[in-house]
């Protein structure tokens, strides 16, 4: 199957700033389901094996989009590098929700899209964002999380470190791969506190009435499988798939130099394709 691949499409957002998206889709097909993928914390659209995952889902007959959140630290000129740590420090959940909306708005009326068939996928922190976005947006019909978080609040620092953060206005987290000290300004917590009900993943999951596939590795060092069990318990329309011994990134790493998906991400991708097809009643 021949794919069209459009890299680094500029998405405009007056509330944040311009950011980039990629689209992968079969060249000769029309009325394709739209699949939008959101990366997680310290992630970006070109990380690891996400390109290979995008190609696999596009080859399955979907219009697949992945994007960089506007304040993830990458830039238009350097989409694979954390070249703007100031932007990273000023990121918050409200900005990510706004960015997600602009991605959906941008592709919603694309000539290749069947806009009655929209699915969104989120990895890790992006999983929490996708739960909330699916609950809020009637255009979205199917939700999938990969190692998705179940709670934002308990990820904030404990009392002593929190007080230091509040007093100093910034705290830093080291990127283990690049060794950059990545800032978090206190506005991140203030935005959460102001919108705490909106950013309650449990509430969104409990009130979600759309098909929801939860994929989780049992050897995830960042998001424990307990969180997947909680999401599945809260949502009455969910299905849980546990991948034995899979880690947080399903075997992928940055850089990913192989021309095939890691085994666990291959399994996860196949599960996603099957789930989307079954709920959109696509026979291929």
More confident residue, 282 or 121: 121
User: Is residue 71 in some structural domain?
Assistant: yes
**What is the per-residue pLDDT for 284?**
54
> Is 0.85 topped by the overall pTM?
yes
Q: Which residue shows structure tokens 């990121």?
A: 91
Overall average pLDDT of the 61-84 stretch: 98
CATH code, domain with 26: 3.40.50.1820
User: Is residue 264 in some structural domain?
Assistant: yes
**What is the per-residue pLDDT for 282?**
74
Tokens standing for 17?
């700033």
Overall average pLDDT of the 65-76 stretch: 98
**What is the per-residue pLDDT for 1?**
86
Overall average pLDDT of the 175-184 stretch: 97
User: Is residue 151 in some structural domain?
Assistant: yes
**How far from 92 is each of 45, 130, 144, 145, CA to CA, in Å?**
18, 15, 22, 20
Task: Return the DSSP state at 36.
Answer: E
**What is the per-residue pLDDT for 25?**
98
**What is the per-residue pLDDT for 82?**
98
User: Is residue 216 in some structural domain?
Assistant: yes
Q: Measure the CA–CA gap between 284 and 277, rounded to whole angstroms.
A: 8
DSSP string across 67-128: E--TTSS--SS-TTS---HHHHHT--HHHHHHHHHHHHHHHHT-TTEEEEEEEEEEETHHHH
Residue 283's pLDDT band, with cuts at 50, 70 and 90, is: low
User: Is residue 169 in some structural domain?
Assistant: no
Overall average pLDDT of the 139-168 stretch: 97
Number of domains forming the structure of the chain: 1
Q: Measure the CA–CA gap between 252 and 262, rounded to whole angstroms.
A: 6
**What is the per-residue pLDDT for 38?**
99
Residue 73's pLDDT band, with cuts at 50, 70 and 90, is: very high
User: Is residue 194 in some structural domain?
Assistant: no
User: Is residue 137 in some structural domain?
Assistant: yes
Tokens standing for 145?
């999380």
User: Is residue 11 in some structural domain?
Assistant: yes
**What is the per-residue pLDDT for 35?**
98
Note down the domain range covering 8: 3-156+202-280
How do residues 107-140 score in pLDDT, each as one tens digit?
Answer: 999 999 999 999 999 999 999 999 999 999 999 9
**What is the per-residue pLDDT for 15?**
98
With 90 as the cut, is the pLDDT of residue 68 above it?
Answer: yes
How do residues 4-54 score in pLDDT, each as one tens digit?
Answer: 999 999 999 999 999 999 999 999 999 999 999 999 999 999 999 999 999
How do residues 211-256 score in pLDDT, each as one tens digit?
Answer: 999 999 999 999 999 999 999 999 999 999 999 999 999 999 999 9
119, 143 in Cβ contact below 8 A?
A: yes
């Amino acid at each position: 199957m021949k794919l069209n691949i459009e890299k680094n499409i500029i998405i405009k957002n007056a509330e944040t700033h311009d950011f980039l998206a990629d689209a992968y889709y079969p060249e000769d097909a029309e009325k394709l389901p739209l699949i939008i993928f959101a990366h997680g914390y310290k992630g970006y659209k070109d990380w690891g094996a996400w390109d290979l995952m995008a190609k696999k889902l596009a080859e399955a007959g979907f219009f697949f989009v992945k994007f960089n959140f506007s304040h993830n630290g990458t830039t238009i000129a350097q989409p694979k590098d954390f070249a703007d740590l100031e932007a990273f420090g000023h990121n918050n959940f409200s900005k990510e929700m706004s960015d997600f909306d602009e991605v959906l708005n941008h592709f919603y009326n694309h000539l290749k899209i069947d806009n009655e068939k929209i699915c969104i996928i989120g990895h890790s922190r992006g999983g929490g964002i996708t739960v909330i976005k699916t609950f809020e947006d009637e255009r979205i019909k199917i939700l999938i999380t990969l190692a998705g978080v179940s709670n934002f609040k308990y990820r904030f620092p404990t009392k002593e470190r929190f007080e230091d953060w509040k007093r100093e206005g910034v705290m830093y987290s080291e990127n283990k791969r690049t060794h950059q000290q990545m800032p978090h300004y206190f506005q991140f917590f203030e935005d959460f506190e102001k919108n705490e009900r909106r950013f309650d993943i449990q509430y969104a999951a409990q009130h979600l009435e759309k098909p929801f596939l939860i994929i989780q590795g049992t050897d995830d060092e960042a998001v424990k499988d307990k969180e997947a069990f909680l999401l599945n318990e809260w949502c009455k329309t969910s299905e849980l798939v546990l991948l034995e011994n899979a880690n947080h990134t399903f075997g992928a790493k940055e850089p990913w130099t192989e021309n095939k998906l890691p085994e666990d991400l291959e399994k996860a991708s196949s599960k996603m394709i099957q789930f989307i097809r079954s709920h959109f009643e696509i026979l291929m």
